[in-house]
Amino acid sequence: MPSVLPLGDPAPSDGLLPAQAAEGAADRNFGLYVHIPFCAVRCGYCDFNTYTATELGGGASQDAYADTAISEVRLAARVLTESGLPARPMSTVFFGGGTPTLLPARDLARILRAAVDEWGLADGAEVTTEANPDSVTPESLAVLKDAGFTRVSFGMQSAVPHVLKVLDRTHTPSRVPQVVQWARAAGLAVSLDLIYGTPGESPDDWRFSLETALSYQPDHISAYALIVEDGTKLAAQIRRGEVPGIDDDDHADKYELADQLIGAAGLSWYEVSNWSRTPEQACRHNLAYWRGDDWWGIGPGAHSHAGGVRWWNVKHPTAYAGRLAQGLSPAAGRETLDDGTRDMERIMLEARLVSGLAIASLGEGGRHAVAGLMAEGLVEAPAAIRGRLVLTLKGRLLADAVIRRILPD
């Protein structure tokens, strides 16, 4: 969740949503995202809305945060009801950050319990928390499992110490197999997050990280190309020439290696940057984002969506806590998307999925572009013949270019 909030219209202090949010809501799943804005240290590449404990106080402190988040859970339930949205159990819940597991496990459990009390959980619901490898114990993972969590996503990033150092990660590589074992013992599914293209990471470094991660037999892997964001420590280091810059060809080579090794280990891609051992082990919460379902985002800077209405909370944890303490919505702004914008976003997101998108749903220009994309090896010909646009490996490497060619003019 980037730290810079988008521009938009002012959000009302009561948080009530326009009528469009309720249209067709009964046919959409509902999920909850909970942003925990705390980190032990700020990683040099990160521009997310996160803070170290010493930067905050008052109602924004780690000790008070669970109660503050629960206040928004209760406000969210009231706003959705008063805005005319039907009662729906949560299909997915995702605790992200920051480092959610810097909070005591019982605080995470209390937030989840408050949400379940308001909405309930759908049968077989997916409940995930992100975690740094050095922020959990066997005991804390057991508490999370008992509270209803089903998955944990560990920020492994790399198995190579000098790469972790550039990224300012605080864990040691030897910690990862230990926490994976603890999570499995607790009965939690395991996902591992990796980053490729870190300055100074050689092809052999990346291969070693992939092979090491796969040796732990995770249920799910995410592999993201490092993006250098303006204003980060890493951007300044590159600008000063202290570390080498980012190379697009290096990214492409490393993505191809990732797809090769991850696929050989029995995991299949289902989104450009994500692989799962079975379709059921894909991250359903992220799929809900990509498919346009409804979700409420709890926490400072968190984003929410319902029926083409998007809104986002004030960025700073102190302002967030202060608004809730006054009984006000923490929403800072919102936008209501028109049909054309919603269709454009649907194309951009669905094209990144292995399920692809219906060619018939494209505009005339997009439909005519498909033949050229097939000829260039960017989309799968058999799928296209069946009426679906599905990216090939080459197409995934050039996904943004493919999407530009199928979008309406």
How much is the pLDDT for 309?
98
What mean pLDDT comes out for the span 317-343? 96
- Please state which of the ranges 50-54, 312-316, 389-393 shows the lowest mean pLDDT: 50-54
Write out the residue limits of the CATH 3.20.20.70 domain(s) in the chain. Answer: 9-290
pLDDT at 2 over 70: no
What CA–CA distance (Å, rounded) separates 248 from 241? Answer: 18
Establish how many alpha carbons lie within 13 A of residue 395's alpha carbon, considering only the half-sphere containing its beta carbon.
Answer: 26
Q: What would the pLDDT profile of 84-99 be if each residue is shown by its tens digit?
A: 999 999 999 999 998 9
pLDDT at 40: 76
Q: What is the CATH number of domain 9-290?
A: 3.20.20.70
Residue 39, SS3 per DSSP: coil
The reported pTM is: 0.94
Stretch among 31-45, 157-171, 196-210 having the lowest mean pLDDT: 31-45
Span of 6-15, 107-116, 250-259, 286-295 with lowest mean pLDDT = 6-15
106, β-bridge pairs: none
Residue 215 has pLDDT above 90, yes or no: yes
Give the C-alpha separation, 131 to 339, whole Å: 37
Average per-residue pLDDT in the chain? 93
pLDDT band at 26 (very low <50, low <70, confident <90, very high): very high
| 247: amino acid identity, one letter | D
Looking at the DSSP assignment, which residues form a beta bridge with residue 224? 195
- Integer Cα distance of 219 and 262 in angstroms: 11
Tokens of residue 6, six digits: 């988008």
For residue 239, how many C-alpha atoms fall within 13 Å in the half-sphere facing its CB?
Answer: 9
DSSP string computed for 273-298: TEEESSGGGS-HHHHHHHTT-EEEEE
Pairwise CA distance, residues 120 & 91, whole Å:
9
Angstrom CA distances, 327 to 17, 219, 254, stand at: 17, 41, 49
Q: Mean pLDDT over residues 315-343, rounded?
A: 96
Q: What is d(CA 401, CA 248) in angstroms, rounded to the nearest whole number?
A: 14
Give per-residue pLDDT as tens, 98-150: 899 999 999 999 999 999 999 999 999 999 999 999 999 999 999 999 999 99
* 336 three-class SS: strand
Q: Which of 25, 113, 115, 122 is nearest to 72 (CA)?
A: 115
